[in-house]
Structure 1
Amino acid sequence: MEVETSGSNDGLSATTGLAESADAAGGCRGSRKSGRWWKDPRKEKTSNLVKVKPLKSSWKNKMKLKSGSENVKKLQTEIREKMAAEKAALVEAKKESERRRQENLRKAEIVQVIKNVHKLKRAKKKQLRMIEKRDTNGM
């Protein structure tokens, strides 16, 4: 192995070329010390960078969220109770109207007391189906 000391040097020696590459890599401000040319040079100090919002929230915000959710829950329970009350009132009104209808039917119907039992034996099936037994003592 022969090292050529004379000849075309291109103005650089082996030792000066290494020093210049080190200066280019880490010597000038803004360039990376590692020599990674694809990385952007740092423009600001880390203390000047915008702080990221912390994962935990403040006590005021927690209490505000809690009171807001409690208000929503109260409103939901009020709405549910209101709807249940309306439904119960509707059911009660239906029962009352049915009871009044039955009462009105009883008042309007014509009652005829059958004293002769033989008439029942002579009656046709259709007529027997229409007959209802009632207590006549209250009349």
Structure 2
Amino acid sequence: MSESATETVPAKKPAKVKKAEKPENSIPRGQPKSNRPWKTPKQKFSKIKKTVNRLSFEKKTALRDELRYIKERSKEIKDKRKEDAVQKHQRRVENAERRLANERRSEVVQVIKNPAKLKRMKKKQMRMIEKRDVSQVKVV
């Protein structure tokens, strides 16, 4: 046998088959009206293939249960926040009332028995005067 017969020839790889381009892509496009050449030509909505993957009954029920749980939990959180806000407001009102009552109790009151005194008072002194129900306040 000859030397050429003993040599192994590397096997040629088959040439890659190019995918056929879609006919709409092969047509050269002119300049669009908007001057935006990078925009791709749009396809009609009716031509687009829409596939709907339906969920199984078990998955649907599981999803429904999960959504129900999330809604309940969020409702609980909202209710708790609202309740906290109401309680805080109530406390603030009670504290304000208590503070006002304490101020009234600690006031030093002087009853003006002579109304002519009011006529002699200056404007600034008149502003300081406040009317009180004497029956509720202790007179010092």
Shorter-chain TM-score bucket reads: 0.5 to 0.7
- CA RMSD, Structure 1 to Structure 2 (Å): 2.0
Cα displacement (A) at 1:138: 3.5
Structure that is richer in helix per residue:
1
CA distance in 2, matches of 1:83, 1:68: 23
1:91 aligns with: 89
2:110 aligns with: 112
The residue identity in structure 1 corresponding to 2:129 is I
Cα displacement (A) at 1:55: 1.1
CA distance in 2, matches of 1:136, 1:94: 28
What per-residue deviation string (whole Å, max 9, x for no partner) do you get for residues 69-109 of structure 1?
Answer: 00000000000000000011111111011001110110011
1:102 aligns with: 100
Mapping for residues 64-83 of structure 1, pairs under 5 Å: 64-83=62-81
Larger deviation, residues 129-138 vs 65-74: 129-138
Identity of aligned residues (%): 39
Mapping for residues 1-139 of structure 1, pairs under 5 Å: 38=17, 55-139=53-137
**Structure 1 stretches of 4+ moved >6 Å:** none
The residue identity in structure 1 corresponding to 2:79 is E
What per-residue deviation string (whole Å, max 9, x for no partner) do you get for residues 14-40 of structure 1?
Answer: xxxxxxxxxxxxxxxxxxxxxxxx489
Query: SS of the residue aligned with 2:55?
Result: coil
Task: Mark the runs of 5 or more structure 1 residues left unpaired by the alignment.
Answer: 1-37, 41-53
User: Could you state the TM-score of these two structures normalised by the residue count of structure 1?
Assistant: 0.60
Task: Tell me how many residue pairs correspond in the alignment.
Answer: 90
* Counterparts in 2 of 1:79 and 1:60: CA distance versus 1, 3 Å: same
CA distance in 1, matches of 2:133, 2:102: 18
